[in-house]
A and B are shown apart, each in its own frame.
Chain A
Amino acid sequence: MNFHAVSVVYRKELTEWLRDRRTLISTVVVPLLAFPLLIGGMISLSTVLIGQAQKEVPKVMIIGGEDSPAVIAALRENKEIEIVPYSDNWKEAITEKKIRAAVEVPADFQDSLEKGTAATVKIDYYQGEIKSEFGADHVNESLKAYRDEVIKKRLQAKDIPASLISPFETKKQNVAPPEKVGGATFGGLIGYMVILLCMTGAIYPAIDLTAGEKERGTMETILSSPVSRLYLVLGKFCLVLSAALATASLSVFSMGVSFSLIRRFGGSTGNRGEAVQLLFQLGPKAVISVFFMALPLAVLFSAALMTIALFAKTYKEAQSYLTPMTFLVVIPAVASLLPGVELTPKLALIPILSTSLVCKEIMTGTYHWGSMSLIFASSCVYAAAAIFLAVKTFQRESVLFRS
């Protein structure tokens, strides 16, 4: 094995690759700019929208209730809502967002309350409209507070302690470690992203170093040099692999940076803020493990894509061969994200799907060393087969000089 020859080929391919503007865009600019912009944009937009909705004092209309002043007074006391005068077309008003909600107080409400027969107060709102839902929530709170007040008075009247109606309290408590919660939210996604980015990062150099070389007429030049085709293809392969890993790591890095920036400057944004915070408790161990598990896949993609692209005569032809390959990777990776898909020994032998599944587990803080090594080993076998195929294909005249 002549490592010097492989490294000469690799260094030359690296030089050319780094000088290619398309590389810069696909590997560096897109991950480093797109992720912060995309994630930051999405989160800040939703923060702004939710903030606006929370700031607004929703207009609420009261329907009926002329004979029940106590409940009306309770509603009017709530500073979170603004009571507007009654009009007939209140349903349209909600639909048209002129008011956010309406309260229907039945006739003789006060009366039935005193008699002890239960009456129903209806809250009308527009489901799915976040501002309308907030309005309805505020109305509901007011009514609940009023109801509690009524209960308290009744109990006092009969000299019964308040604990009678709530003999015990319940409290939900989370036992999952923070990374489990974060993992459930984002973990599957990160494994999926790493796998997909390894693939997309490899596509462009795989084409450029094979079909691209044929198209530019440098294939014959390089084949006339004394370096053997084995070292030539290995040098090229190493570059494609580097590109795949560089794309994936830069993307994950930039995702991480954008999340942490948002955590620092975006403040708490309700559930989203918490989820982001949890993501950061994943720690480097999980991320490194995911990359380690994805490594044989990156090898597999690089070698397989090169093999296929080698058959093409031109860049365009190669692109049309490789684009469908993306689906072969996306489908098993997406399948692993579906709820209820669990890692079984049989599934561990399916490439991509198995890695994606195990990444999901790693992200939730679970390390099944047995299945991890089984998946790593099986992926390595596939990767080795792909390299072997790439080397063999590169030695076939009918492929190199296809006309």
Chain B
Amino acid sequence: MIEARSLSKRFQDKKRGEIRAVDNVSFTCQPGKIYGLLGANGAGKTTTLRMLATILEPTDGTAIICGFDVVEQPEKVRANVGFLSTATALYPRLSAQEMVEYFGRLNGLDEATLKKRVDDIFNRLDMNGFRDRRCDKLSTGMKQKTSIARTLVHDPPVMIFDEPTLGLDIMTARTITSFIRECRDRGKTVIFSTHIMAEVEKLCDVIGIIQSGKLLAEGTLAELRAKYAEQDLEEIFVKVVGPLHAQAEAQAI
């Protein structure tokens, strides 16, 4: 369970002054559901998810994940979260197995549990063929599987995906999307961000549309269709973010 309560993040920029990357965002993600955060580049998706993963600290507000506060108990939050993004690379000089084991140990797993967990994950994801190959020698697909294994090793109840399919080819992207579905089916709380409409339509149980750091619309696909009187998600998105997007563009110039 994820509960964002008035999450805000402000940065100081030398040229542009204060930037509200995330502005008073509140939402709830339920276990066994996929929450999709939909937004253009620079809308505040990554910052929001980084705050949930406690990689960044909120300027104001907080979030409660599995009963732990991201500001007060960040280490406990991280122990309950699997975080995956295209920016979360692997250590090039470790083998796939060492990489997963390292994260298991960082999560405080004892060696017996770790061995069992690693064997289980490697079998399930069909990774035994490249267990001992160094991460810098893996193909993109193998790397993605290793990253997935890395997020799963401590069996977290909450999964956070930040644009997980960005820049991946179709087959690799499918590995990720099917993995996201599997997480939901196992009863995990899943939140993921994207700017690809098709992914949202296929995967998400609840959609949140974000622009300029503000959560502008939230609901199931059916609810959004009814509210904005549009069938196509892209049209709904344009209707929602249109005014703010134009404003942001004008400011950028």
**Which of B76, B89, B102 is the one whose CB lies under 8 Å from A12?**
B102
| Pair A8/B106 contact, Cβ less than 8 Å | yes
Task: Tell me, yes or no, whether B90 is within 8 Å of chain A by CB.
Answer: yes
Q: Could you tell me the distance between the alpha carbons of A217 and B88 in the complex, rounded to whole angstroms? A: 6
Contacts of A221 in B (CB 8 A): 88-90, 150
Interface window among B77-85, B123-131, B216-224, B237-245: B77-85
**Which of A8, A9, A19 is the one whose CB lies under 8 Å from B93?**
A19
Interface bin, chain B: 20 to 34
| Pair A217/B78 contact, Cβ less than 8 Å | no
**Which of B75, B88, B102 is the one whose CB lies under 8 Å from A226?**
B75
- Least CB separation from B136: chain A residue: A216
| Pair A20/B93 contact, Cβ less than 8 Å | yes
What is the count of residue pairs linking A and B with beta-carbon distances less than 8 angstroms?
A: 64
Contact indicator per residue, chain A 1-18, by CB within 8 Å of chain B (1) or not (0): 000010011001001100
Report B189 CB to chain A, min CB distance, Å: 16
| Pair B90/A8 contact, Cβ less than 8 Å | no
| Pair B89/A224 contact, Cβ less than 8 Å | no
| Pair B75/A216 contact, Cβ less than 8 Å | no
- Least CB separation from B107: chain A residue: A226
Q: Could you tell me the distance between the alpha carbons of A16 and B134 in the complex, rounded to whole angstroms? A: 11
Contact indicator per residue, chain A 183-213, by CB within 8 Å of chain B (1) or not (0): 0000000000000000000000000000000
Contacts of B50 in A (CB 8 A): 220
Contacts of A9 in B (CB 8 A): 106
Task: Tell me, yes or no, whether A95 is within 8 Å of chain B by CB.
Answer: no
Report A200 CB to chain B, min CB distance, Å: 22
Report A399 CB to chain B, min CB distance, Å: 13
Q: Could you tell me the distance between the alpha carbons of A8 and B98 in the complex, rounded to whole angstroms? A: 12
Q: Could you tell me the distance between the alpha carbons of A15 and B50 in the complex, rounded to whole angstroms? A: 29
Report B89 CB to chain A, min CB distance, Å: 3
Whether A16 contacts B55 in the complex (CB less than 8 A), given A221-B150, A226-B75, comes out as: no
Q: Could you tell me the distance between the alpha carbons of A229 and B79 in the complex, rounded to whole angstroms? A: 14
**Which of A8, A217, A228 is the one whose CB lies under 8 Å from B89?**
A217
| Pair B87/A220 contact, Cβ less than 8 Å | yes
| Pair B102/A8 contact, Cβ less than 8 Å | yes
**Which of B55, B75, B154 is the one whose CB lies under 8 Å from A220?**
B55
| Pair B89/A397 contact, Cβ less than 8 Å | no
List A residues at the B interface (Cβ < 8 Å).
5, 8-9, 12, 15-16, 19-20, 216-218, 220-221, 223-228, 397, 401
Besides A5-B106, A15-B94, 16 new A-B residue pairs in contact (Cβ under 8 A), listed by A number: A5-B108, A19-B134, A216-B91, A216-B92, A217-B89, A218-B89, A220-B50, A220-B55, A220-B85, A224-B81, A224-B83, A226-B75, A226-B78, A226-B154, A228-B75, A401-B56
